[in-house]
Amino acid sequence: MNDQTPTPPKPGQQLRGTARTTTAQTAADLYAQGCTIRSIGQQIGRSYGATRALLLEAGVRLRARGGGIRKAAA
């Protein structure tokens, strides 16, 4: 029983080849669903910076920082 599905690398281990491509696509899909970079990083076991780099490699256009401007209460 030789399963050809690659096992996800452990946190801190370098992502290479198909594992990197698959992880980048997973991150891109999560980002498209509205997840934050930080939450994606937690889900895939990568740092914020590594997750951001994967998203950029996948061709994702990153959203602007923060939310809308709130009006002061009247």
pLDDT tens sequence across 29-73:
999 999 999 999 999 999 999 999 999 999 999 999 876 555 666
This prediction's pTM: 0.75
Give the residue among 17, 38, 37 at the shortest CA–CA distance from 28: 37
Number of domains in the chain: 1
CA dihedral 43, 36, 50, 22 (to 10 degrees): 60
CA 20 from centre of chain: 11
Instruction: Tell whether 64 is covered by a domain.
Output: no
With a cut of 80, say whether residue 18 has pLDDT above it. yes
CA dist 56 and 41 (Å) reads: 14
Instruction: Tell whether 6 is covered by a domain.
Output: no
Domain enclosing residue 21, as ranges: 17-57
Instruction: Tell whether 68 is covered by a domain.
Output: no
pLDDT score of 15: 85
Instruction: Tell whether 23 is covered by a domain.
Output: yes
Instruction: Tell whether 66 is covered by a domain.
Output: no
